[in-house]
Every structure is written in structure tokens, then in C-alpha cells.
Amino acid sequence: MMDRFSDTGAEKHPAMTPTPQNEAKLGDFAKTVLMPGDPLRSQFIAENFLDSPRLVNNVRGIQGYTGTYKGKPVSVMASGMGMPSMGIYAYELFNYYDVGRIIRVGTAGAINKDLKVRSVVAGIASSTNSEFAMSQFNIKGHLSASASFRLLETAVGAARGMGIEMVVGNLYCTDLFYDASGASVEWGKLGHLAVEMESYGLYATAMQAGKEALAICTISDHVLTGESLDAITRQNSFTEMMEIALETAILL
């Protein structure tokens, strides 16, 4: 990481925007940013849910937009895949763009037998096989990365008001998409709902910055049954989690 990014806090680097990864200027992002992994899902949310969306970042095709939802400013920007990518974009949004909260809206694989494909889950906490927190923060131990309770409580209320059943529990966040070890099944036996690749990096980064984060995911495949959905379906559907995140954004 570049030395000039070593300190946290936008107030310490008021001239840090744009950044090498983000061409937006300070003030271009709303206080709440929805963050899918896929840039095309970012575009889908902006074009289908936001009024007057404008593209504020397209470095590396990551696609960040700001518009309004029911009259309140909301932004959406992709994170890319994995904790290293999420760590870059979440760090910059929190520390250089004065974003107050990030809601991940992504996909996950079910590792709980009671979940079905297309179920919506929210991560109250995230376990990991990654060294992300120890490497990033130089801590001598294992960080328990958790969501913002205020954000989670608001999202649960929004889902309930919309008549959507959203399951809340722990996520397992892994560095490995192709994992020959079968470790995710074992995490499922410990009560974790689903496996994905970004939540731990998001939660840890938010905790360091003193900001809020929540991961809301739609089950796109089931590790235990082998059922899965195609890429286009993942990109252009899963609107329930998007609507829950947007309703949460305007309640805060």
C-alpha cells in the first residue's frame, strides 16, 4: 500500500480525492453506498432504482453512481471480488469520501440445509480463513468482525415491512473461490448460513474507520445440494435484497 494511504480519516487528507482507484471528487458520494461485487449489478441498481443517477467513478470499469431514492441521496458502487478489492474501495469511501455506511448487496453460497436458492440473508458477523485483519491492523489475535447493529436492525425492520423473510446469522468469508478443502461445509456445521468473499473485509474496514457496514446477500447457489443460478440471473435479478438495502438507506 502506498505510504500516503497509511493514516485513516478523511480530515487528515482533505486533498486525497480523487484517488488512484476512484475519480470521484469529495462530495460525489452519498452518506450511504450500496456495494455489489459486480459492476454490472451496480449499473443495474442505478438504472432501475435511482432517480437521475450520474456516473461518478468508472476507473477500471468499477462503476460508481449517485442518485436519489424516494428523494434521498444514495450511491452504489461495485467492490470487485474478494477481500483485497473490497478493502481498497471500502477504505477509500470511509476514509477519503466521508461515506458513513456501506451495505454490501451480493451473492453467497448456502452452507445451511434450511436455506434455499434465492433466500435473502444478512450477516450479523463474519468468520474467515483470511489474514486480512491481522495483516491490515497488526493485531495479535483474531478479530471478530461484526455488522453495525443499528444498520442490521433497520434492515430487518425494512424487510419485515416489505413482507420479505430475511434470515440473519453468521457468514463465512473466504479467500478461496475454488476451495478443494471443503472447509465451507464445516463452517456450515458451526451454524454459519452462507459462504462469500467480501463481508469480513468490509466489516473489519468499517470497524477500523468507526463507520457502519452490513452485508445483505442473496443465495445464488447451494453448496450442499449443487443447485445454482446462471450469471445473467445473478446480475439482473435478486431485487429483494436491493430493495431492502435501499429502504434501509433512506431510514438512516
Tell me, letter by letter, the H, E, C secondary structure of 155-222: HHHHHHHCCCCEEEEEEEECCCCCCCCCHHHHHHHCCCCEEECCHHHHHHHHHHHCCEEEEEEEEEEE
Give pLDDT tens digits for 20-32.
999 999 999 999 9
Per the listing, cell 425494512 goes with 158
Report the pLDDT averaged over residues 213-225. 95
Residues with Cβ < 8 Å from 7, sequence gap 6 or more?
Answer: 13
**What CATH number should be reported for the domain holding residue 175?**
3.40.50.1580
Does residue 144 fall inside a structural domain? yes
Give pLDDT tens digits for 50-74.
999 999 999 999 999 999 999 999 9
Count how many Cα atoms sit within 13 Å of the Cα of residue 232 in the half-sphere of its side chain. Answer: 0
Does residue 103 fall inside a structural domain? yes
Number of folded domains that form the chain: 1
Does residue 12 fall inside a structural domain? no
| 213: pLDDT strictly greater than 50 | yes
- Residue 9's pLDDT band (cuts 50, 70, 90): very low
Does residue 2 fall inside a structural domain? no
- The confidence score (pLDDT) of residue 179 equals 87
Of all helices (H) and strands (E), which one includes residue 142? none
Does residue 11 fall inside a structural domain? no
Residue % of the chain over a pLDDT of 90: 83
Catalytic-labelled residue, pool 7, 51, 221, 230:
221
Give pLDDT tens digits for 160-179.
999 999 999 999 999 999 98
Active site residue 221: yes
Of all helices (H) and strands (E), which one includes residue 49? helix 39-49
Does residue 8 fall inside a structural domain? no
Of all helices (H) and strands (E), which one includes residue 73? strand 72-77
- The confidence score (pLDDT) of residue 210 equals 97
* β-pair partners for 101: 32, 212
Q: Are 194 and 112 in contact (CB under 8 A)?
A: yes
| 10: pLDDT strictly greater than 50 | no
Does residue 6 fall inside a structural domain? no
Q: Are 153 and 217 in contact (CB under 8 A)?
A: no
| 220: pLDDT strictly greater than 50 | yes
Does residue 203 fall inside a structural domain? yes
Global pTM value: 0.92
Residues with Cβ < 8 Å from 114, sequence gap 6 or more?
Answer: none
Residue ranges making up the domain that contains 196: 17-251
Q: Are 99 and 89 in contact (CB under 8 A)?
A: no
| CB-based burial label for 90 (10 Å; 0-12, 13-18, 19+) | buried
Phi, psi of 65 (to 5 degrees): -130, 150
Mapped onto helix, strand or coil, the DSSP state of residue 97 is: coil
